[in-house]
Structures are given as structure tokens and as C-alpha cells.
């Protein structure tokens, strides 16, 4: 019945309510049912007139202002307006099966540096396990003085931290190595998200178990069907690794490792093992599948880099972009994100002519280490074509490279760590296309 009180028929509803008041109590329900069914038949013409957008515009009274809306707790867990279309999306031909696949964050629709938990990109190697937190355990063992089993309650007793950090799949942009391919920002750069993560520093847990002097590496293992496992060097664990249970102010989402995940800030997302069940301390790395067969970087000479953990400085313009074209000439704020796995973003420059000349942008809002950072440039678009680019510089002085510079080092057939300057072609019509300049 709830829905029946929402149609754009305030006057009819009012008339029916008045009519119903005159009836005896026992008949009222039947009247409302029959009355509304009859109304549904005769009112279609009126509904069409009511959804005519102009009738909600000034000087008219908007439909939604002319009656009460739903009350508190009508949605105990809220969701975006029905008029929004905020969604993770995937490119299904990339992978054979959805349980071992990836989806992308809708960067084109984000309004700040925090990615809402429900649209954080997904990467699974064996689907999402449905973990009961009461039956979940973290075991820490190996080269330690005191091997421990920790419950979720145990973990929450440790001193906690909360940090805003990005997480990025090293394959972000990977479809663009060989040429421009994806005609949407969501697919060129969307294996990226930035959240506030709450948990305990791994170094705190390591103090608790007491790492033996010969302990130099940590195997992190997930409780998913893939038993995801990665070798993490002790120096990272002692630096800034978080064992997180919170994301954006609530428990982790199942997609993000509920109830417990590792987070290695600034490092390739795959090292941030989700559904974390075990940490083993050892004296050497394990060389497991995801750090040998995958997530290594084959170079043109046939040799391969391994332990390519850091996500180097990168940036992209999010407005305009293919999903958000220039709709009309005049003032425009060019906006985008920059991020670096080595620390803070120091500056972002933009070019309108494909990288011949560059201008400085302003950084907006919070500028945090290893976090998405917003940049802004105010200008006018008068229908002239642009080859729009952005270029991030991080606090180490590293300058985001051109595609040619990256290909000169790594060839054109790499998969991971493509952080080169990206180009949007804004055409005379205002439509925006993905192009590559080499």
C-alpha cells in the first residue's frame, strides 16, 4: 500500500480521504482498495500531465512540495535517489567468468575524494565469500614468539587507526597499453577507489606476537575460494599496513573483504588481501601464483620485474570526460583526481594542446598522502577542440610520464602499472573521446 500514497495525484487522494471519513470504519479499507484501483484506470492521462517536467518548474508548485514525503526510517539503510545512476560497471569480455573478474568505480559520478562503499571497484579471484564474523579468525604464526588466534572482538580491542587512502588495481588502465580502447572514464581509470579505512596497524599486531629476528616476510592469506595469498615484506608491515574492519564509517562491505582485510596503502590492490584469515611470518617470500604468474611485469627483453608493489603517481580529468561532455560554451571548471602511492600529490598541471604547453591547476580540499586529491582549473570553452591532459607531480618530485616515455621503458605489451598521461579529445560538439598521442 505504501507506494499508493506516492503518486502524483494529491487532489484525488485528498478527495478519497474526505470520502472515506464519511464512511463507517468497517467499509473504509474496501473503499480505499477499490477506489484506488478505479483511480489507477482513469488517471493515466493525469499522471502523464503530472510528470511533465515543466509543471514542476517555477512558477508552478513542484509536485513533491504539495504532499508529505515518506517519514523517518522509511528506508532503515538509505540509498541514492532514484534519479541517480551511480553504479559499478564491468567490461565482460575482459574475463571469462564473473567470479574471477573486475568491475570499475564510476569516477565520472564521484563528488569528492571518498568513494561510496557501494561503488568501490571489485576484484575477485573466486567470488565473494559470505563470512560470518563470529566464525572468522585471524591466525598469526610462523617466526613469532607468541602465535595467536584473534577473533573480531579481540581485534577491536587493539588501539585503532583511521586513514583515508586510495586503493588501485595495478591493471588500472591496462586495456590502454596497446592503444586507446575504452570509450569511458569508468573503464580507463575506474579500478580505483579512496576510502577511510579503520583498523589496527599491522605493526601493533606484530608487537603482540613478537616477530623473531629472522622474520623478514609475511604471507597474507584470504578466506575466499581462491585462498588469495601474497608475500609482504616486513618493512611495509612496520610502516603503514592496516588490518582493517571499517570502511567509510561502517563495517567493510563483503565485496571489500568483510569482516577483515589487509590494506597496504599506495601498493597494488592485490596485496591488500581481503577476507584476511592468516598471517605467517617467514624468512623469505613465498613466490605464490599472484606474485609470479600474475602481477609481475614482463619487459620487452623477455625478462620480468617482480614485487612491483608501488602505484606510481597518476591523474585523470573527470570532468569533462566521455560520460560528462561539455554541454554548452562558456565557463567551465576542469576537474580531476590525482594520486600517488609514494605520498602526497604536490601539483597537477593540465594541457589543452596534447602536451605542448602546460598550465598549473589548483589542488582542492584535503591533500593527504596516498589518497585521491582533487584538482581544478577554471577556464572557458567556446567550441574549440581540445586535447586535454593532466600531469601529476608527487612529493618525491616524480612527474607522471607520457605514454611514449612509458612504452620506451616497458614496451607496448605490458599489463600492469600504466600510469601515463591520459588524453581526452574534446570535439567542437563538446563530445569527449579517448585518444592516445604518441
Partner 1 sequence: MFKSLSVASVFFSLVVSGTLLAGPLGIGTTATDEVIAGWDIDVRPDGMGLPVGEGSVAAGEGLYEAKCASCHGLFGEGEGRWPVLSGGEGTLDTLHPEKTVGSYWPYASTLWDYIHRAMPYTAPQSLTDDETYSISAYILYLNDIVDDEFIANKETFARVKMPNEANFYVDNRPDAQNERCFKNCADPKLFEIVTTINGVTPTGHFKEDSGVAANHYEGNPSAASEVGTSNEISTTKIVFSDTAVLGEGVYDKACQACHSSGIAGAPKTGDKTAWVSRIEQGMDILNVHAINGYQGEDGVMPAKGGNMSLSNDDVINAVAFMVESSR
Pick one of 136, 261, 274, 278: the residue that binds partner 1 (CB under 8 A).
278
User: Applying CB under 8 A, does 413 fall inside the site for partner 1?
Assistant: yes
Residues between 419 and 438 with contacts to partner 1, criterion CB under 8 A: 420, 425, 433-438
Shortest separation between residue 338's beta carbon and partner 1, angstroms: 14
> Nearest Cα to 170, choosing from 272, 313, 311, 294?
311
User: Applying CB under 8 A, does 203 fall inside the site for partner 1?
Assistant: no
Pick one of 57, 135, 356, 380: the residue that binds partner 1 (CB under 8 A).
356
Candidates 41-49, 60-68, 190-198, 410-418: pick the segment binding partner 1 (CB under 8 A). Answer: 410-418
Pick one of 34, 62, 70, 92: the residue that binds partner 1 (CB under 8 A).
92
Which contacts qualify for 116-120: CB closer than 8 Å, 24 or more apart?
116/86, 116/248, 117/195, 117/247, 117/248, 117/250, 117/253, 117/256, 118/86, 118/253, 119/86, 119/87, 119/88, 119/193, 120/88, 120/167, 120/193, 120/195, 120/247, 120/253, 120/255, 120/256
Residues between 170 and 199 with contacts to partner 1, criterion CB under 8 A: 179-184, 187
Residues between 96 and 135 with contacts to partner 1, criterion CB under 8 A: 96-101, 125-127
Nearest to partner 1 of 38, 304 (CB atom): 304
Pick one of 110, 167, 209, 244: the residue that binds partner 1 (CB under 8 A).
209
> Nearest Cα to 382, choosing from 428, 336, 351, 350?
428
Nearest to partner 1 of 197, 416 (CB atom): 416
Is residue 344 within 8 Å of 368, Cβ to Cβ?
A: yes
Pick one of 293, 328, 380, 382: the residue that binds partner 1 (CB under 8 A).
293
Pick one of 131, 391, 422, 424: the residue that binds partner 1 (CB under 8 A).
391
Nearest to partner 1 of 198, 340 (CB atom): 340
Residues between 130 and 169 with contacts to partner 1, criterion CB under 8 A: 139-141, 145-150, 154, 157-158
Strand-strand pairing, 276-282 and 138-142? parallel
Q: Where are the alpha helices (DSSP H) in 43-184?
A: 44-51, 152-157
Residues between 218 and 237 with contacts to partner 1, criterion CB under 8 A: 219, 221, 225-227, 229
Residues between 236 and 255 with contacts to partner 1, criterion CB under 8 A: none
Shortest separation between residue 438's beta carbon and partner 1, angstroms: 5
Say whether 378 sits in a helix, a strand or coil. strand
CA distances from 295 to 104, 200, 291, 414 (A): 18, 27, 5, 11
Say whether 363 sits in a helix, a strand or coil. strand
Residues between 330 and 349 with contacts to partner 1, criterion CB under 8 A: 347, 349
Nearest to partner 1 of 35, 127 (CB atom): 127
Q: How many CB atoms lie within 10 A of CB 288?
A: 17
> Nearest Cα to 194, choosing from 86, 340, 295?
340
Amino acid at each position: 500500500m505504501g507506494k499508493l500514497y506516492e503518486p502524483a495525484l494529491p487532489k484525488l487522494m485528498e478527495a478519497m480521504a474526505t470520502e472515506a471519513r464519511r464512511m463507517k470504519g468497517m467499509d473504509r479499507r474496501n473503499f480505499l482498495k477499490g477506489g484506488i484501483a478505479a483511480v489507477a484506470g482513469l488517471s493515466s492521462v493525469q499522471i502523464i500531465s503530472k510528470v511533465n517536467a515543466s509543471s514542476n518548474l517555477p512558477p508552478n508548485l513542484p509536485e513533491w512540495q504539495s504532499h508529505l514525503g515518506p517519514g523517518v526510517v522509511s528506508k532503515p539503510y538509505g540509498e541514492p535517489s532514484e534519479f541517480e545512476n551511480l553504479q559499478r560497471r564491468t567490461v565482460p569480455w575482459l574475463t571469462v567468468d564473473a567470479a574471477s573478474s573486475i568491475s570499475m568505480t564510476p569516477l565520472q559520478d564521484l563528488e569528492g575524494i571518498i568513494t561510496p562503499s557501494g561503488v568501490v571497484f571489485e576484484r575477485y579471484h573466486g567470488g565473494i565469500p559470505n563470512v560470518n564474523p563470529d566464525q572468522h579468525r585471524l591466525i598469526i604464526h610462523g617466526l613469532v614468539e607468541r602465535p595467536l588466534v584473534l577473533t573480531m572482538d579481540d581485534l577491536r580491542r587493539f588501539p585503532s587507526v583511521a586513514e583515508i587512502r586510495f586503493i588501485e588495481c595495478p591493471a588500472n588502465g591496462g586495456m590502454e597499453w596497446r592503444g586507446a580502447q575504452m570509450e569511458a572514464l569508468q573503464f580507463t581509470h575506474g579500478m580505483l577507489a579512496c576510502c577511510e579505512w579503520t583498523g589496527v596497524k599491522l605493526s601493533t599486531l606484530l608487537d603482540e606476537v613478537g616477530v623473531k629476528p629472522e622474520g623478514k616476510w609475511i604471507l597474507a592469506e584470504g578466506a575466499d575460494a581462491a585462498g588469495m595469498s601474497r608475500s609482504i615484506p616486513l618493512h611495509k608491515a612496520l610502516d603503514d599496513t592496516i588490518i582493517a574492519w571499517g570502511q567509510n564509517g561502517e563495517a567493510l562491505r563483503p565485496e571489500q573483504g568483510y569482516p577483515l582485510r589487509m590494506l597496504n596503502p599506495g601498493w597494488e590492490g592485490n596485496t591488500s588481501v581481503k577476507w584476511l584469515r592468516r598471517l605467517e611470518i617467514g624468512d623469505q617470500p613465498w613466490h605464490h601464483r599472484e606474485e609470479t604468474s600474475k602481477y609481475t611485469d614482463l619487459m620487452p627483453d623477455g625478462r620480468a620485474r617482480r614485487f612491483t608493489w608501488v602505484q606510481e603517481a597518476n591523474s585523470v580529468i573527470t570532468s569533462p570526460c566521455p560520460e560528462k561532455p561539455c554541454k554548452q560554451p562558456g565557463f567551465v571548471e576542469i576537474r580531476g583526481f590525482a594520486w600517488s602511492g609514494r605520498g602526497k600529490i604536490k601539483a597537477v598541471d593540465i594541457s589543452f594542446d596534447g602536451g605542448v604547453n602546460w598550465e598549473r591547476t589548483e589542488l582542492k580540499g584535503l591533500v593527504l598522502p596516498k589518497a585521491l586529491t582533487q584538482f581544478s582549473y577554471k577556464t572557458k570553452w567556446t567550441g574549440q577542440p581540445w586535447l586535454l591532459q593532466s600531469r601529476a607531480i608527487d612529493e618525491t618530485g616524480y612527474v607522471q610520464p607520457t605514454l611514449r616515455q612509458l612504452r620506451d621503458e616497458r614496451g607496448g605489451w605490458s599489463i600492469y602499472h600504466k600510469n601515463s598521461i591520459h588524453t581526452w579529445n574534446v570535439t567542437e560538439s563538446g563530445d569527449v573521446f579517448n585518444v592516445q598521442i604518441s
